Amino acid sequence: MVKAAMFGATGNGRDQTRALQSALDYLGKVGDGKLILGKGTFLVSLAKSVHKKACIIIPAGVTIEGSGMGVTIIKRISSERKQNGVLLVNKGYDTKGGYKAAGNIVLRNFTITDGDVTSKPRTYGDLIALGHANNVLIERVQSLNHDQHFVDICGSRNITVRDNISNNKQDTYGTATIQIDRAKNLGIWGLLLDGTNPQNITIENNKITSMSEMVLQLGHDQSTVENLNVVSNVITGANTAKGQNAIGKDVDTSILTANIKNNHIKLNNADSIGINLVTDAAHRLDNISLSDNVTTGKMRTATFIDSAVASTGFENILYSLYIDLSSAMRVL
């Protein structure tokens, strides 16, 4: 275990990129370990990074632990607010295929953000990106505004994202709070494009408020997602002007075995959908269990399932009662 302050990263609101990377590189050389971030704001940048497309590179076997959500803050430097770039990414995501990039990583107890809402957001750049990773835990992390994703799980397996709090006010196309996709085409900026699909993904007990068109994107860019658990999340679609999908996927993706259970969804637009699982003629939905999900508010439908092919194994589908209390009160 090392403290970031030992390497000069003191959370003093200045650019901490080189100091943080030095601490992480030290842990990478010794084989594993924990980096403790103290109180304060740790600014990161591409200008001082060792990588052209990511600010901070995380080696295998490393834990980054802050002093608490809202206490330790990792933030993109304001001069790069409109510049493409990932904030945190696992080492080797752009060079190692399969699930052989840096893994056995833990991220916990801090806040991460792109900064204030902007009318001209970046095209590329997640807060946390995982490419070709194996065994990663993200817990008790608070995410604020993100131009792309809070977490992008791309061509990775054995990933758990739990007990996090997200509040994204950036209304930009393609900014799902959590996105799951394969290592191809539209993946992480700079990703090695070998087509590896995601496996064994758990998204559990997160509290998410978002303006994004899709909040949890369970499949993207012709992915085949295997063994997916989306359980006990509280999702608020905060956009009143546009329709949102709280839990959904691209039509050109397959999901093979999923448990979507006990999620509580609140929507605020008549074009919104709680759970939207639609598949085209070339892709499948197999062994899908939907149970105890509750969707309330203004929406088009709570759950929408459709496929052009014969999908199998739907179980325990519970449709919630839809009551728009505001409309009911007007009628009275």
Q: What's the pLDDT band for 315 if we cut at 50, 70, 90?
A: low
Q: CA torsion sign, 178 to 179 to 183 to 189?
A: negative
pLDDT tens-digit readout, 42-52:
999 999 999 99
Residue 297 CB-half CA count within 13 A = 23
| Structural contact between residues 141 and 107, judged by C-beta atoms closer than 8 angstroms | yes
The amino acid at residue 155 is: G
pTM of the model: 0.94
115-119, 132-136, 234-238, 322-326: which range is least confident on average? 322-326
CA separation for the pair 282, 252 (Å, rounded): 7
Nearest-10 Cα torsion for 169, 171, 173, 177: 10
Q: What's the pLDDT band for 282 if we cut at 50, 70, 90?
A: confident
Identify the pLDDT of residue 195.
96
| Structural contact between residues 39 and 13, judged by C-beta atoms closer than 8 angstroms | no
Q: CA torsion sign, 170 to 173 to 179 to 185?
A: negative
DSSP state, 163?
A: S
Task: Please count the helices (runs of H) and the strands (runs of E) in the chain.
Answer: 2, 27
Mean pLDDT of 4-15: 95
| Structural contact between residues 133 and 97, judged by C-beta atoms closer than 8 angstroms | no
CA separation for the pair 302, 36 (Å, rounded): 42
Mean pLDDT of 266-280: 94
Q: Which tokens in the block code for residue 310?
A: 């014969």
Residue written as token pair 């499948």: 284
pLDDT tens-digit readout, 96-135:
999 999 999 999 999 999 999 998 888 889 999 999 999 9
Identify the pLDDT of residue 324.
47
